[in-house]
Amino acid sequence: MGVYEYRGLTPEGRAISGVIDADSPRLARSKLRKSGIFPTDVLESDGAAAAPEGATAQAGRHAAVQAAERWIRWHRTPRLSLPELSVMTRQLSTMIGAGLPLMDGLTSLIEQIERQQARKIWIAVRERVKEGASLAEAQNAYPAVFSPLYLNMVRSGEQSGTLALMLLRLAEMLEYQARLRSRVLAAVTYPIVLLVTSLSILFFLILYVMPQIAQVFSDMGQALPLPTRILLGGSQWLRSYWWGPVLLLIGGAIWAQRVLSTPEGRLRRDRWMLKLPVFGRIASMVALSRFALTLSTLLAAGIPLLKALGIVKGVVGNLVLEGAIEEAAHNIREGESIAGPLQRSGLFPGFVIQMIAVGERSGELMQMLKKVAEAYDHQVETTVGVLTSLLTPVLILFMGGIVLMIVLSVLLPIFDMSQAVH
């Protein structure tokens, strides 16, 4: 089977290019047409031809990997969304669980993928597997796509002969994380849209409407009351010195980026995040949910506890909690239980400590950790929902107050004019 680089057109007339594997140029064109692409050029990749018969397949595989990786590098860092990766992982698990060899499963998976970037990644993975690498080794070449957690789960499944089961557990965990993220995003989207819309209207009134009203009053020689003068002064200042706030925001962003580029800066940020009144609690619950679910999944995959903790600390997304987990792993290595070191850190609530302790004593640690993740998932959803229901009316009242101030600033001179006429 050879590898062909192609150029073509989509049904919408958009130019597209990439690589495809097929036994001949004619079959490559046929596969492209079936996928909805009208090919204009189909050329065999360099190195796939003019080789001895025993080396043709090897050259073709190398060419496929090189072509896919050229495409990936050209399109910068490749990424797959959580829903995408979870669906693909579940599909691969289903096919391997049905008895298909890994290569056939990967080929079937690639044929079902529509997005070109995702397709290129899995083609490169398949070609590396063809060259003799394990699935985990092939995926390890793309750390931006496959996390250490993902790779360790796949490696454990390959070593234990339970790859289909490990992929299924990975898919379930990725689906859980995607659901949690989508719930939080859905809850905060409306307040953000409301805030952005309100601020846009506010700036339009201040920067465009108010100066025109001021010009009308100025032409009439009308003395303006204090609220109107304050608002017009602020409008004039923004129109004349708009670059000041812009430079301030840019400078603040550059400073924050430099601070957060250092471990000390990120540590201070994460410690500050945990101390915020409401948002700190939400961030803590999300991190603890990730900790519990990931550790439960890794232990279920047969990964040793200390190795699992080393993976989990990179998943929680908070350096303060990472340090506590690393310290706990050090104490566990010296013979302590899990619950004790975590409790001494003061960062894990009593509920988590009690559930872990019960799980250790009963031998059901994985089940207890999963219940912890489910409990915090529910709490995050509830807390974000309550916060959103409170934040929305607060934003409406705030913007209503601003608009009322603008309206009064316009009406007060009109009232003064009417009294002067009478």
Q: Is the pLDDT of residue 207 over 80?
A: no
In 389-402, which positions are buried (b, 16+ CB within 10 angstroms) versus exposed (e)? eebeeebeeebeeb
- 180 and 278 together in one domain: yes
- 190 and 215 together in one domain: yes
**Mind spelling out the 3-state secondary structure of the chain?**
CEEEEEEEECCCCCEEEEEEEECCHHHHHHHHHHCCCEEEEEEECCCCCCCCHHHHHHHHHHHHHHHHHHHHHHCCCCCCCHHHHHHHHHHHHHHHHCCCCHHHHHHHHHHHCCCHHHHHHHHHHHHHHHCCCCHHHHHCCCCCCCCHHHHHHHHHHHHHCCHHHHHHHHHHHHHHHHHHHHHHHHHHHHHHHHHHHHHHHHHHHHHHHHHHHHHHHHHHCCCCCHHHHHHHHHHHHHHHCCHHHHHHHHHHHHHHHHHHCCHHHHHHHHHHHHHCCCHHHHHHHHHHHHHHHHHHHHHHCCCCHHHHHHHHCCCCCCHHHHHHHHHHHHHHHCCCCCHHHHHHHCCCCHHHHHHHHHHHHHCCHHHHHHHHHHHHHHHHHHHHHHHHHHHHHHHHHHHHHHHHHHHHHHHHHHHHHHHHHC
404 is a domain residue: yes
65 is a domain residue: yes
Section 298-313 average pLDDT: 82
Q: Is the pLDDT of residue 242 over 50?
A: yes
182 is a domain residue: yes
- 134 and 279 together in one domain: no
3-state helix, strand, coil in the chain (%, to 5): 75, 5, 20
90 is a domain residue: yes
- 252 and 140 together in one domain: no
**282-304 pLDDT per residue, tens:** 888 888 888 888 888 888 877 88
- 59 and 128 together in one domain: no
159 is a domain residue: no
What pairing do the DSSP bridges indicate for beta strands 38-44 and 2-9? antiparallel
1 is a domain residue: yes
Looking at the structure of the chain, the number of domains it has is 3
Q: Which of 73-77, 89-93, 307-311, 343-347 is the least confident region? A: 73-77
- 359 and 389 together in one domain: yes
Q: Where does a domain end: 76, 102, 135?
A: 76
Q: How many CB atoms lie within 10 A of CB 228?
A: 23
Q: Where does a domain end: 55, 76, 97?
A: 76
Sign of CA dihedral 76, 81, 87, 92: positive
353 is a domain residue: yes
Q: Is the pLDDT of residue 12 over 70?
A: no
Which CATH number is 142's domain given?
Answer: 1.20.81.30
Q: Read off the pLDDT band of 71 (50, 70, 90).
A: very low
Section 48-66 average pLDDT: 47
pLDDT at 57: 47
pLDDT at 297: 81
Q: Mean pLDDT across the chain, nearest whole number?
A: 79
- 49 and 127 together in one domain: no
- 299 and 422 together in one domain: yes
Q: Running DSSP on this structure, what letter comes out for residue 209?
A: I
Rounded Cα distance between 102 and 129, Å, is 9
Residues of the chain with pLDDT > 90: what percent? 1
- pTM exceeds 0.85, yes or no: no
Name the E strands within 84-235: none
Q: Is the pLDDT of residue 52 over 50?
A: no
**CA 211 from centroid of its chain's CA atoms:** 43
Q: Is the pLDDT of residue 351 over 70?
A: yes
Q: Is the pLDDT of residue 221 over 70?
A: no
Q: With both helix axes pointing from N to C terminus, report the angle between 116-130 and 102-112 in degrees, rounded to the nearest 10.
A: 170
Boundaries of domain holding 394: 174-422
Q: With both helix axes pointing from N to C terminus, report the angle between 82-97 and 163-204 in degrees, rounded to the nearest 10.
A: 160
Q: Which of 76-80, 297-301, 318-322 is the least confident region? A: 76-80
385: CB partners within 8 A, 6+ apart: 187
Q: Is the pLDDT of residue 44 over 60?
A: yes
- 222 and 336 together in one domain: yes
Q: Is the pLDDT of residue 333 over 70?
A: yes
- 337 and 271 together in one domain: yes
Section 239-249 average pLDDT: 84
166 is a domain residue: no
311: CB partners within 8 A, 6+ apart: 148, 149, 152, 294, 298, 303
Section 232-260 average pLDDT: 84
- 38 and 130 together in one domain: no
- 243 and 328 together in one domain: yes
